[in-house]
Amino acid sequence: MAEPHERECAVCTNDFTTPKILPCGHLLCRECVISWMDSKADAGCPLCRCPIVEQSDGSSSATVDALPTDFVMEALVESARVLSKDHLCCVCEDVRADFICMQCQDMLCTACTKAHRKLSATRSHDVESVSTVTPERLAASRPALCADHGDKQAEFFCREHRLAVCSACKANKHKVCPKTNYLEDEIQSAQKSLNDLTKILVETEQKLEQVIGQVTSRLQEVDVSEQEDMAEVDKSCDRLHKLVEDFCSNLKEKTRTSHLKIRSSLRDVKTDLSNRLGKVTSHKHIVTRATAVSPRPALIHMTQALTDRVNSLDLSADLQRQLWVKPLSSTEGCTNVVMRIQQELLMLEQQWTQICDLRNSATIMAQSHERECAVCTNDFTTPKILPCGHLLCRQCVISWKDSKPDAGCPLCRCPIVEQSDGSSSDTVDALPTDFVMEELVESARVLSKDHLCCVCEDVRADFICMQCQVLMCSACLKVHKNFLQPAVTMWRVSAL
């Protein structure tokens, strides 16, 4: 049963008057559509913003009149209007009406109902209680009246003029019309067509709901996958932070130890040099004193003794050699480590970018027919890019060219090559290969296989190694990651 708001126009909020069916399926009054279109040059449906017409060169009224009218809604509105009136007998006028004639659409009191049922002209009519009649039932019971004689029953339908007419109109106004059939036959034909349409629409609706459900599930899987991936990223980053902190601590400790050894060695050198300096200074004082105050014979003896002593001090030793022992520097090592980590992170980022590109490409190329060759209708094998931009399998291009000397693209008829003096295979091999499509076809083939673990074989696989291109279960995933970590990237199969 149609709710009252379903009979209301979204623009004027009144009951529909000449309801027009927009391309999107929504209804608006004829005058409301005209005024809505006149108010905005690119006016769309006020409910869903879909275009009312793709392009219109004529007036708004002509454009709107070309839209189909919903006569069923029109009848429902009229039936609801009849039922909403004061329930007064159409004959007695001031007496309450408890009944309505489904054919005459008139309200009747109890007394008039008895008379209505006895009259020969109306005894076959259905008279029912007003309280039980709905607008839908009343609309379905409305008699088919002649388009020209509103008081006569229509018996025929003129297909040429799309009008229900009485027998008199058929014999006069429509006698030359080629297709004037019995109204009942046309109604049965229309009902059959509507039943077929209903079946098609129901099937399409079910398919759309099924696909929408799949998309909804896919969205939920993507949400779950995002959370899991984010958690994995956080976990990996935490591990990286821990590794960096441990590396920093170890490197500092090694640096500290290295400098401690050098410092200790330099202190020993300094102590030794200080001792030698003390000896040199003492002997310098002795030599100076001997030079100043020694008697002549004693000077000779002192000179020989001091010369022997000074020579024993090893004054010619390389004093600089021990000073420039450089401590082990960690700066260069740190720089190398940072560069290597940067390279690894860059490679990881590129891998993720490739994965995202592949997933986006798989989404764009989700329709399997877009991976099919137009000639063999199978998935592409060595797809060649024709000059027009279309793709065909290498062998398909060769066979297509061999079948027709001037063969053009089977999709757009553009020439495959401007001029060719060599064999077809040489000409085709000169065309570029679409390696991206080749990878997409191979990836689709991998993902289309039964999701069974490559190791366990009979266990469902929920993950795939992006490098090895093999499916695996959760248990094998842990082994695989521990064995090849960090060289592999794992993804849920459902996320691809």
Q: What pLDDT is stored for residue 294 in this prediction?
A: 57
What value does the mean pLDDT take over residues 271-287? Answer: 82
44 by DSSP, 3-state: which? Answer: strand
Q: Is 374 found in the same domain as 331?
A: no
Residue-wise pLDDT tens digits, 415-431 = 877 666 667 788 888 88
CA dist 17 → 1, 53, 78, 86 (Å): 19, 20, 10, 21
Torsion of CA 457, 459, 465, 466, to 10 degrees: 90
Cβ neighbours of 146 (radius 10 Å): 20
**What global pTM score does this model have?**
0.46
Rounded distance between C-alpha atoms, residue 363 and residue 357, angstroms: 10
Q: Is 350 found in the same domain as 303?
A: yes
Q: Is 406 found in the same domain as 345?
A: no
Task: Classify residue 109: in a domain, yes or no.
Answer: yes
Residue-wise pLDDT tens digits, 465-481 = 767 777 778 777 777 76
Q: Is 356 found in the same domain as 384?
A: no
Residue-wise pLDDT tens digits, 149-195 = 666 777 788 888 778 888 888 888 877 788 888 888 888 888 888 88
Task: Classify residue 321: in a domain, yes or no.
Answer: no
Task: Classify residue 196: in a domain, yes or no.
Answer: no
For the cut 70, the answer to whether the pLDDT of residue 394 exceeds it is yes
Task: Classify residue 180: in a domain, yes or no.
Answer: no
Q: Which residue, 391, 409, 413, is CA-closest to 400?
A: 409
Q: Is 28 found in the same domain as 94?
A: yes
Task: Classify residue 115: in a domain, yes or no.
Answer: yes
CATH code at position 431? 3.30.40.10
Q: Is 116 found in the same domain as 45?
A: yes
- Tokens at residue 83, please? 């039922």
Q: Is 429 found in the same domain as 294?
A: no
Q: Is 125 found in the same domain as 32?
A: yes
Q: Is 232 found in the same domain as 124?
A: no
Q: Is 308 found in the same domain as 273?
A: yes
For 184-189, the CB contacts below 8 A with 24+ separation are 186/157, 186/159
More reliable by pLDDT, 373 or 483: 373
Tell me the residue range of the domain where 228 lies.
216-315+327-364
Q: What pLDDT is stored for residue 317 in this prediction?
A: 61
Task: Classify residue 147: in a domain, yes or no.
Answer: no
Residue 360's pLDDT band (cuts 50, 70, 90): low
Task: Classify residue 211: in a domain, yes or no.
Answer: no
- State the DSSP H helix or E strand holding residue 393, giving kind and residue range, or none if neither: strand 391-393
Task: Classify residue 164: in a domain, yes or no.
Answer: no
Q: Is 468 found in the same domain as 441?
A: no
In the chain, the number of structural domains is 4
Task: Outline where DSSP puts E strands in 83-214.
Answer: 99-101, 107-108, 127-129, 156-158, 163-165, 180-182
More reliable by pLDDT, 284 or 360: 284
Q: Is 246 found in the same domain as 302?
A: yes
Residue 482's pLDDT band (cuts 50, 70, 90): low
For the cut 70, the answer to whether the pLDDT of residue 364 exceeds it is no
